[in-house]
A = this chain, B = another copy of it.
Amino acid sequence: MNKRITIKQIAKALSVSISTVSKALNDSYEISDETKSKIQEYAKLHKYKPNTLALSLQNKKTKTIGIIIPNILNYYFARALRGIEKVATEKGYNIITCITNESFKKEVNTMEMLSNGTIDGFIACISVETLKMKNFEHINDILNEGTPIVLYDRVHKDINCDKVVTDNIKSAYKATRFLMKSECKNIAIISTSEGININKFRVKGYLKALTKYDVVPNEDLIIIQDGEDGLTERINKMLDSNKVDGIFTVDEISGAITTQVLNKRNIKIPDEVSIVGFTNGILSRYSSPPLTSVNRFAHTTGEVAATRLIDKLEGKVKFDDIKTEIIRTQLVERESTKKLFIKF
């Protein structure tokens, strides 16, 4: 077992001083070519690698950023992570990813843990529990210490920092309008995970579209619940006693479940009922039929967040310069809605 070698050992082995070794390895002009190459060769031979910890302790910079993800099984977050990861790597930053599983306690613990020298800044998405409790002290504390944070997707006005979000109201509005334009008269909306304001915004957008086109919202067509348990039954029940020819689902899982229900009932999609989903992921792409869906550009969200954070870390943007960036969405037409010939 060849334990990792240190600068000190190299110095001893070659009978030079520690600082000479340090300088030689950093290719300093102060060191003679001869000693330099002697040291560098020895280092290479023994696979010397500098200790990251010691470096970070010295520079007060770790070149790593902490990523807080509520739920990695969520395809949107996984894609956002990729975007973050891409930019971080490009700019020479490491990322340390933590999953909170939507738990407040876990979120507080990990963020406190990491903000003690381990990371230079955070890219975080607040957990549902935190959002419900409206307790953001841990975040504000970290901000106060001068550690920059960029919040993405789920945000709150009580936190004053950079944010990267989706325009939920507008996107939901456009999705609903699309259903109306494709001649749906009775449009239902389905939303799991109540309690997060982004879902409320999506319902708002739906209602706004209806109102705008003089359709009176029908309460029986609005299914909002926490979690997916029993969703199948509720959809079936709704379908049993209501005329429905369009369904807007506020998240991917709802979309998939809705599709399953319709298929099971042998209802033709989109001939009899159209579906528009939200957050275009694998489920939308690979369902039968593939779902028309509001694409959220998760990857871009991640990229923008990472770019912003790194700019701040590197002083390109001042700490107090706070900005909220809105990432546009785009409706991806697939086979769960009727083809529209008039674009609008």
Interfacial residues, chain A to chain B (CB-CB below 8 A) = 1-4, 47, 49-54, 56-57, 62, 64, 72-73, 75, 78-79, 81-82, 85, 89, 94-99, 101, 106, 110, 112-118, 141, 144-146, 253, 256-257, 259-260, 263-264, 282-283, 286-290, 319
Contact = CB atoms under 8 A, between A and B. Distances in A.
Nearest to A260: B288
Query: Number of copies of this chain in the oligomer?
Result: 2
Given A97-B97, A145-B2, A52 B257 contact: no
A186 to B, nearest CB: 23
A303 to B, nearest CB: 14
Contacts of A114: 52, 94
B72 A62 contact: no
Nearest to A96: B96
Contact of A81 (B72, B260, B263): B72
Contact of A113 (B3, B94, B282): B94
A193 to B, nearest CB: 15
19 contacts: A1-B145, A2-B144, A47-B141, A49-B116, A50-B116, A51-B57, A53-B53, A53-B57, A53-B62, A53-B118, A54-B117, A64-B96, A81-B99, A82-B99, A82-B101, A95-B96, A253-B282, A256-B282, A287-B288
Given A51-B117, A99-B81, A286-B283, A3 B263 contact: no
